[in-house]
Amino acid sequence: MRLCTFAGPWFSALFVSALLGASPARAHFIWVVLESKSDGAATAHVYFSETPSPGEAHLVDRAARAKVFLRESGGKGAPVELKAATQGDVGELCCEVKPAGAACLEATCKYGVITRGEKSSLLHYYAKCLEYSPAALRDLGRSESLPLDIVPHAKGQGLELEVLWQGKPAAGSQVVVIDPSGESSELKAGDDGRVTIETLRPGKYAARARVVVDKPGTDDGEEYAQELHYSTLVLVVPEQAAAVEKLTAAQMLRAAREGRAVWNDFPGFESDVTLYESGKTQKGRLVVSADGEVKLAAFELAKDSRVEATLRSLVGHRLPGGETSDDVSFADEKTDHPLGRLIKLDYDSQMASAYRIRDDVIHEVNRQLEGGGRFTISVFEVHRNAEGKYLPQTYTVSFWNKDGTLRSTSVTQERWVRVSAFDLPKSHDSVTTGKDQHANVRMEFSNHKLLTK
């Protein structure tokens, strides 16, 4: 951990009064800021200040009361140890961190009892910072550890901020927002606890919200009449994110293709496999060559077993290459489908292929089958690897007959394990149902070993 250098102030004194809104003069809040660096590392900052910038040097010890955590996709928050850094009359807490991918910096602080006028209050602060991307908002936007949380959501060409108190919408709460240009707005949340920012701009947004709980009590021997809870959010919006709604169908598809986790320069691997299929358990060995050929040893598989076909499909989707054509178009103008925009593959008229894409992920594949009928793959959950690329985790595959009746549906869940630079299968579970059929297949992979290329 290396002590950081000072970050320049975000907002000039012209905007301080706007940020404070109706709060008393010289109001301070806990802010956290996570600044990414070109080498993959990041700098974590904690400020006790009116704005998300270094505050008065003599107040640094108050910022040190906060407990700070770095949370990454799919993981719990890891404690972050920061050190004080002062420069003249201003100061902060900071350190360098190295997240593996998208990350959210969070802080909680029970400040203690303060007295304003004749009323004493127990003061709590909460804070978080993350960089805007559809995946980051989905995986990191909600902070379960913050009782008062400002949750960002993408909405069309803008942004929606949802204020949650104890996990429920804080209806009617006041939210103060400063956009990247320094313009301040004081907004009132609706019954759903949400406020809307119509147009998303590149840069840094700062927001804060407050909840007052009329509940007297005692803290460390001091009596108080109410609890004050303040939460702050810093959201960093990259240039490319602000234009996400303006992407063409070809650009969306290209981003989704590039977002897949693939086995580049793959040497092949082998692993032990425990298989449950057709009511019995078998153990054997799987060998996958560098070109994706699948071989199973020590299994007594029935000739009609789907296991080998499943493995070939699993491996084939991880190999690089595949479709590259940009001859695609939007099938309609609907932008609110939960699985994303519907994009027609105009170059594939034979199978009438169409994809639904959301958050740089192909969430649905629709294709016609030769001789009639069709199938649909719907992806509900993906796994993000260390590079932020995605792999399927939970999905369904449905087949329809020519007359439109459902032939069969399977539900699959897959887990992955990192071996060197490759995400290899850890487990595969599927349940298939249809007319006169119900089948379960489970495969567990262990003792992975990369082959020598």
Q: What percent of the chain has pLDDT over 90?
A: 54
Query: Is residue 317 very low, low, confident or very high in pLDDT (cuts 50, 70, 90)?
Result: very high
Give the model confidence (pLDDT) of 75-102 as tens digits: 778 999 999 998 889 999 989 998 878 8
What would the 3-class secondary structure string for the chain be?
CCCCCCCCCCCCHHHHHHHHCCCCCCCCEEEEEEEECCCCCEEEEEEEECCCCCEEHHHHHHHCCCEEEEEECCCCCEECCCEEEEECCEEEEEEEECCCCCEEEEEEEEEEEEEECCEEEEEEEEEEEEECCHHHHHHHCCCCCCCEEEEEEEECCEEEEEEEECCEECCCCEEEEECCCCCEEEEECCCCCEEEECCCCCEEEEEEEEEEECCCEEECCEEECEEEEEEEEEEEECCCHHHHHHCCHHHHHHHHHHCECCCCCCCCEEEEEEEEECCEEEEEEEEECCCCCEEEECCCCCCCCCHHHHHHHHHHCCCCCCCCCCCEEECCCCCCCCCCEEEEECCCCCCCCEEEEECCEEEEEEEECCCCCEEEEEEEEEEECCCCCEEEEEEEEEEECCCCCEEEEEEEEEEEEEECCEEEEEEEEEEEEECCEEEEEEEEEEEEEECCC
Look at residue 18 in the predicted model and tell me its pLDDT: 30
Reply yes or no on whether the pLDDT at 14 is more than 50: no
Vertex 1, ends 238 and 151: CA angle to 5°? Answer: 35
- What is the mean predicted confidence (pLDDT) over 233-262? 82
| Torsion angle defined by CA atoms of residues 57, 128, 177 and 86, in that order, rounded to the nearest 10 degrees | 10
Reply yes or no on whether the pLDDT at 204 is more than 80: yes
Q: Quick check: 247 and 255 in contact, CB under 8 A?
A: yes
Query: Is residue 12 very low, low, confident or very high in pLDDT (cuts 50, 70, 90)?
Result: very low
Look at residue 425 in the predicted model and tell me its pLDDT: 96
Give the model confidence (pLDDT) of 104-157 as tens digits: 999 999 999 999 888 899 999 999 999 988 778 888 999 999 999 999 988 767
> CA torsion sign, 62 to 64 to 69 to 70?
positive
Look at residue 26 in the predicted model and tell me its pLDDT: 57
Q: Quick check: 122 and 228 in contact, CB under 8 A?
A: yes
Q: Which of 17-21, 163-167, 396-400 has the lowest mean pLDDT?
A: 17-21
Q: Which of 300-309, 322-331, 340-349, 422-431 has the lowest mean pLDDT?
A: 300-309
Phi, psi of 220 (to 5 degrees): 50, 40
- What is the mean predicted confidence (pLDDT) over 151-174? 89
The pTM for the full model equals: 0.55
Higher pLDDT pick, 14 / 135: 135
Look at residue 308 in the predicted model and tell me its pLDDT: 86
Reply yes or no on whether the pLDDT at 226 is more than 70: yes
- What is the mean predicted confidence (pLDDT) over 366-384? 92
- What is the mean predicted confidence (pLDDT) over 28-55? 88
Q: Kindly calculate the radius of gyration of the chain based on its CA atoms and give it in whole angstroms.
A: 26
Look at residue 10 in the predicted model and tell me its pLDDT: 39
- What is the mean predicted confidence (pLDDT) over 36-43? 81
Look at residue 7 in the predicted model and tell me its pLDDT: 52
> Distance between CA 167 and CA 161 in Å, rounded?
14
Reply yes or no on whether the pLDDT at 230 is more than 60: yes
Question: Which amino acid does the sequence have at 386?
Answer: A
> Distance between CA 207 and CA 230 in Å, rounded?
11
Query: Is residue 243 very low, low, confident or very high in pLDDT (cuts 50, 70, 90)?
Result: low
Average per-residue pLDDT for the chain: 86
> Distance between CA 119 and CA 114 in Å, rounded?
8
